Chains A and B, each alone.
Chain A
Amino acid sequence: MTRTFADLGFPGRLIAVEGLDGSGKSTQIYLLKRWLEMRGLKVFFSEWNSSALVKSATSKGKKQNLLTPTTFSLIHATDFADRYERQLFPLLKAGYLVLCDRYIYTAFARDVVRGCPPAWVRGAYSFAARPDITFFFRSHLEVSLSRILDNRPTLKHHEAGMDLGLSADPYESFRIFQGRIFEQYLAMSTEFDFVVVDANQRIEEQQGLVRRLVESRINLEQFSASK
């Protein structure tokens, strides 16, 4: 199995959050970031900004529905590799605390649900080291779904999993698709040593747990910006 950044002897540490859309994970990582910044630490929040080049191919593929499960997986792996090699890897070498809203596990769940062999997808991403801590925000499926669907958003074709032909109704398709992704996350929890957070608790309770765990596992003083 791939190793963590600590195992690899990097001075930096990577913390990732995973979970369904609507599980509240983005709120939690934002609050974690604020706390670490207030403590004067070298923190970098990595946003999923694709390079112009990869973005052009991805949007073309999605717009024209050219993508199969395999090319969908590969184009996202390309995008991730670009971000990993240009941004995450150098920052971790430079000794940053890097926070990622979603990491390779999002791809593992999504691509496997689309029918790619689990071992193939894991292999494709094996150039990437594992996070030092991965929080999985485990919410009730129905709660996550209604947080997203109650506003009746316009769901994009792939976002709703419409390419899987689960249902002609985008909302129904989204429900089934998210349900399957949720099962993948649960199956990965032990495989990848996720820290499972009960996302049905109050925001503050979850954040308290997250902060205590980060403090216990990472020597935060090492990341002081003044050092």
Chain B
Amino acid sequence: MTRAMARTKRSRPASADAAVLVPKVTPKRFFGLGLPGVDLEKLTGKLIVVEGADGSGRSTQIARLVQWLEASGHHTLQVGLKRSTLVSEELETAQHGNILSRTTLSLFYATDFADQLENNILPALRAGSMVLADRYIYTLMVRDLVRGMDEGWLKNLYGIALVPDAVFYLEVRPEILVQRVFAKQQALDYWESGMDLGLSRDMFDSFLQYQSRMRDTFRRLQRHYRFDIIDAERSMDEVNAELRRRIEAVLAGDLTRQPAAG
């Protein structure tokens, strides 16, 4: 048994008994024009999205949510950006070489997203699984918006996406984020520092500027899309407890914090 599971049982003795809660099915929607040939009523699973910069604790939180959900009797599927069969390798190459122009790269990411949406996310939701997405269209849009891409164009493009049942944006101030990144890997990533924007030749400085633009844009989008902003400067346990509380409400069919189509 993993540490996370042991913790689950200690903190939530209810999950130790045999009773398994059946999530309430709630209506699904697309952001925009949607995908051809999808019967929304057949999507009985839940789509839970965790957004946030590298170092915000995204992957740790998702790993712990998966443990908890499975222990509670739910089937889960994890998806993330740049993981499609179709174009993930090509995207990796493109990023390393920095060879594609902005619109091209943006469409490449949209292809990667659409491939996973149609081949992984939707089938899992049809099967009634809990899909945990390590970032979603919000990150893709925010990255492009800080690079000056047209918002209307992006909205139309990602109108194919399904509105998630819950979206959590793990927010950490850039000053704290940079410390967390250093504690983990001793170096800043070129893209996560927004070096392609030419904000500053000083990578540390560029990181701070870029991440605060990203945060501002996330906050602006939050007003249209109504996702949950989670204070992720707290301990992993505190954050996880909050996420679980909110997910429990979603599974029980509570729509009060439902994300909007924008």
Contacts and interface: CB of A to CB of B under 8 A. Distances in A.
- Counting contact residues on chain A (CB < 8 A from B), the size range is 20 to 34
Given A66-B85, A115-B37, A74 B110 contact: yes
Contacts of A64: 85
B98 interface: no
Contact of B93 (A53, A81, A115): A53
Contacts of B119: 66, 68
A119 B153 CA distance: 11
B118 A68 contact: yes
- The CB with the most chain A CB atoms within 10 A, among B35, B90, B99, B110, is that of B90
A123 interface: yes
Interface string A45-83: 000000101101100110010111111001101100110
Interface stretch (B100-108, B216-224, B240-248): B100-108
Given A71-B111, A115-B37, A82 B100 contact: yes
Interface of B is mostly: helix
Interface in B51-94: 85-87, 89-90, 93-94
Contacts of A183: none
A117 interface: yes
A124 B36 contact: no
Contact of A53 (B90, B114, B156): B90
Nearest to B88: A57
Interface residues of B, number: 35
A82 B100 CA distance: 7
Interface string A75-96: 1011001101110000000000
Contacts of A81: 101, 103-104, 106-107
B101 A86 contact: yes
B159 A120 contact: yes
A116 interface: yes
Q: Is the interface of A mostly helix, strand, loop or mixed?
A: helix
A222 interface: no
Contacts of A116: 36
B161 to A, nearest CB: 11
B16 interface: no
A56 B87 CA distance: 9
B99 A119 contact: no
B131 interface: no
Contacts of B152: 123
B142 to A, nearest CB: 19
Interface string A196-225: 000000000000000000000000000000
B160 A57 contact: no
Given A56-B90, A74-B114, A120 B160 contact: yes
A85 B101 contact: yes
Interface of B: 32-37, 85-87, 89-90, 93-94, 99-104, 106-108, 110-111, 114-115, 118-119, 150, 152-153, 156-157, 159-160
26 contacts: A53-B94, A54-B108, A57-B86, A57-B90, A57-B111, A60-B86, A61-B86, A66-B115, A66-B119, A68-B114, A69-B36, A71-B114, A71-B118, A74-B110, A75-B87, A75-B111, A78-B111, A81-B104, A81-B106, A82-B101, A85-B104, A115-B36, A117-B36, A119-B156, A123-B157, A123-B159
Closest 7 CB pairs of A and B: A123-B156, A85-B101, A115-B36, A78-B107, A74-B111, A117-B33, A81-B104
